[in-house]
């Protein structure tokens, strides 16, 4: 009987229309399996629960006694992303929703205290000192980013991931995309929040961007697909915005990777800092230019008067995923990003992605060992094949293949689809509305089980960032609003059991 109920709940989870419905069924399953007892017990070998417990007790005592100087001192000194190993994925493999209640309570306490410090006048904590505290603490804590991989039509899975994060107020401001991921990144980076519904349903797109060339055109252009058709699609749906204009319009920081055809150039991460005047549609067109599939692209930009002109006219660019599918290092240099959520849909990568929700065991260890050995031998064979070849298309192809094999394709949290052979068969070609919506729902289903972990690992960083934004607005405001008690972040759910003690 219990097994039948559990199977029914799992089917309901797969058919859930939104996260809240999915979460209700997942919590029921956790309760049936006795996971409430596990959550209530703070002890675990996977994190320093004694350290977290003591910090929670101290913060509550100092806040209740009004010792704000000590609160500020403790937060400035002790706010670290992985304090006590809080980001350990093992803490999220036991249950479908949530983790230890102690972790929920600690994060709630930190977030509510930060909001209170930001939004209230506190003696001996003037505005200038307060802004410096949040800036320094935010710099020390770091930021999160969402990185969207390549994957052709599989990349529409990214839309579902973004929809799930957006609806839970968990979408990072920093988003990168390569190839298919660049299309999705550009769509959210050029639209305001109230304009995203059309993207999530597919109604904002005509979904026609693939057109095969005839044999004569293939020989002449040295590519199988019509680059003008995808350019038309991008211009129509992204518009003539530059990276700087997109940032000013939405506040989102989109980053698009492109790879050079010229060996004397290096891969570029295009954004409002590195290429403010480059047209976003042009960057996406280049990032999607898979060699042999689409022709190489000359980037376009706006001049001082707003007229369209070539950017680095003598240089052509191709698929960003070839050399920099997930530009983690460059994001760290530019934006202080030290935490990465990855939506991975690259067809050649998916067979090697490990399911993070599975507990470690011998089967998983042996599987990973075989996968790592295969990648290592593949890299050796590609390098061996390139010996003695100095130049030419074969040399370029082999070097590109080595670059693809050597890249890291996962993040601190990796979301990916469960693909089947039929998905590989429809990787190219125009999607129907129904197929697009299937990929979106697949992205949501893959993201919902990770929502708690994403929230727990990003909520402090997001709160620090939001507080800095609010403080900057207060600078131009004649008066700072006062509150009677600590503010609660709208992004953080209460623990999966009772409410947090205050």
**Catalytic residue annotation:** 179, 319
Beta-carbon contacts of 349 under 8 Å, excluding residues fewer than 6 positions away, are: 149, 409
State the number of CA atoms in the 13 A half-sphere of 329 facing the CB. Answer: 8
Distances (CA, A) of 250 to 241, 257, 341: 11, 20, 20
Nearest Cα to Cα of residue 271 among 243, 299, 297, 247: 243
User: Buried b vs exposed e over 50-82: b needs ≥16 C-beta within 10 Å?
Assistant: eebbebbeebeebbeeeebeebbebbeeebebe
Task: Report DSSP letters for 48-101, one per residue.
Answer: -HHHHHHHHHHHHHHHHHT-HHHHHHHHHHH--TTGGGTT-GGGGSS-SS---H
Nearest Cα to Cα of residue 90 among 360, 295, 345, 400: 360
Nearest Cα to Cα of residue 339 among 91, 143, 78: 143
Question: Which residue do the tokens 């505290």 mark?
Answer: 133
E-strand stretches of 169-313: 174-177, 253-260, 268-270, 300-302, 308-310
State the number of CA atoms in the 13 A half-sphere of 152 facing the CB. Answer: 17
User: Kind of pairing, strands 268-270 and 317-319?
Assistant: unpaired
Judge residue 306's burial from the number of C-beta atoms within 10 Å of its C-beta, 0-12 exposed, 13-18 middle, 19 or more buried: exposed
Any bridge partners for residue 260, and if so which? Answer: 317
Count of beta carbons in the 10 Å neighbourhood of residue 437: 17
Rounded Cα gap, residues 430 and 332, in angstroms: 36
- Decide if 454 contacts 165 (C-beta within 8 A): yes
Q: Could you give the residue ranges of the DSSP H alpha helices within 190-327?
A: 197-201, 215-221, 227-238, 243-250, 280-287, 321-324
Q: Could you give the residue ranges of the DSSP H alpha helices within 251-320?
A: 280-287
Question: Which residue do the tokens 């493999």 mark?
Answer: 93
Q: Could you give the residue ranges of the DSSP H alpha helices within 274-339?
A: 280-287, 321-324, 328-335
């Amino acid at each position: 009987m219990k097994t039948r109920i559990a199977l029914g709940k799992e089917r309901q989870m797969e058919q859930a229309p939104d996260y809240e419905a999915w979460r209700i069924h997942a919590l029921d399953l956790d309760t049936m399996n006795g996971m409430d007892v596990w959550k209530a017990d703070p002890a675990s070998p996977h994190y320093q629960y004694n350290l977290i417990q003591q910090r929670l007790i101290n913060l509550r005592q100092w806040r209740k006694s009004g010792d704000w100087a000590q609160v500020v001192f403790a937060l400035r000194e002790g706010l670290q992303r992985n304090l006590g190993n809080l980001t350990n994925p093992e803490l999220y493999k036991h249950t479908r929703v949530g983790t230890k209640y102690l972790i929920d309570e600690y994060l709630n306490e930190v977030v509510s205290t930060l909001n209170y410090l930001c939004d209230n006048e506190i003696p001996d904590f003037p505005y200038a000192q307060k802004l410096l505290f949040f800036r320094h603490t935010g710099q020390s804590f770091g930021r999160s980013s969402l990185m969207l991989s390549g994957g052709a039509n599989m990349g529409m899975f990214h839309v579902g991931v973004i929809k799930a994060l957006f609806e839970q107020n968990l979408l990072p401001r920093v988003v990168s995309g390569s190839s298919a991921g660049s299309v999705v990144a550009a769509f959210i980076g050029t639209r305001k929040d109230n304009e995203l519904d059309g993207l999530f349903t597919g109604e904002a797109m005509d979904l026609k961007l693939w057109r095969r060339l005839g044999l004569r055109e293939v020989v002449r252009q040295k590519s199988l697909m019509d680059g003008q058709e995808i350019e038309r699609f991008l211009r129509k749906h992204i518009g003539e915005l530059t990276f700087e204009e997109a940032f000013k319009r939405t506040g989102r920081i989109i980053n698009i990777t492109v790879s050079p055809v010229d060996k004397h150039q290096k891969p570029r991460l295009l954004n409002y800092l590195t290429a403010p005047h480059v047209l976003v549609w042009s960057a996406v067109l280049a990032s999607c230019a898979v060699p042999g599939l689409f022709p190489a692209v000359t980037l376009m930009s706006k001049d001082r008067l707003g007229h369209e002109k070539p950017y680095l006219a003598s240089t052509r660019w191709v698929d960003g995923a070839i050399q920099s599918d997930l530009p983690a290092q460059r994001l760290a240099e530019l934006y202080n990003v030290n935490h990465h959520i990855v939506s991975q849909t690259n067809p050649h990568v998916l067979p090697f992605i490990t399911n993070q929700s599975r507990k470690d065991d011998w089967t998983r260890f042996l599987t990973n060992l075989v996968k790592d050995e295969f990648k290592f031998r593949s890299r050796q064979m590609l390098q061996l094949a390139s010996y003695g070849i100095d130049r030419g298309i074969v040399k370029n192809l082999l070097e590109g293949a080595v670059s693809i094999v050597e890249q890291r394709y996962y993040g601190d949290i990796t979301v990916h689809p469960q693909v089947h052979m039929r998905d590989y068969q429809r990787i190219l070609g125009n999607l129907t509305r129904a197929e697009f919506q299937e990929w979106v729902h697949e992205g949501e289903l893959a993201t919902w089980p990770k929502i708690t972990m994403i929230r727990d690992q990003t909520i402090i960083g997001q709160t620090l960032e939001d507080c800095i934004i609010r403080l900057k607005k207060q600078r131009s405001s004649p008066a700072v609003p006062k509150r009677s008690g600590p503010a609660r972040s709208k992004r953080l759910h209460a623990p999966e059991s009772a409410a947090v003690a205050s």
